[in-house]
């Protein structure tokens, strides 16, 4: 009868933990090197859009104040 894998056997199994750490390092590098710069550009682009929208809203407010003033 083959040995059954349980939580306890995985918890005490050193090669299992070495593999887990290996996967964490690999995927963190993939996220950090490949994906993170693209995410930063994406968020920066949207921040610039938000600033442009705020400027337009301010201009609209000033125009509406000017029209309502008369």
The answer to the question of residue 44 being in a domain is yes
d(C-alpha 29, C-alpha 23), whole Å: 10
The answer to the question of residue 59 being in a domain is yes
- What is the band of 1 on the pLDDT scale with cuts at 50, 70, 90? low
Residue 47's domain comprises 9-69
* Structure confidence at residue 2 (pLDDT): 65
pTM (predicted TM-score): 0.45
The answer to the question of residue 1 being in a domain is no
The answer to the question of residue 3 being in a domain is no
* Structure confidence at residue 52 (pLDDT): 87
The answer to the question of residue 40 being in a domain is yes
- Decide if pLDDT at 4 tops 80: yes
- Helix ranges, 1-70 (H): 7-11, 14-29, 36-69
* Structure confidence at residue 46 (pLDDT): 79
Number of domains in the chain: 1
Asked if residues 10 and 16 have their Cβ atoms less than 8 Å apart, the reply is yes
Q: What is the pLDDT of residues 8-54, one digit of tens each?
A: 888 899 999 999 999 999 999 888 888 888 888 888 877 888 888 99
The answer to the question of residue 22 being in a domain is yes
């Amino acid at each position: 009868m083959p040995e059954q894998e349980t939580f306890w056997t995985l918890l005490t199994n050193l090669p299992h933990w070495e593999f887990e750490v290996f996967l964490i390092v690999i995927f963190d590098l993939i996220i950090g090197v490949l994906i993170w710069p693209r995410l930063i550009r994406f968020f920066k682009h949207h921040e610039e859009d938000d600033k442009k929208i705020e400027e337009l809203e301010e201009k609209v407010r000033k125009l509406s104040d000017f029209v309502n003033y008369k």
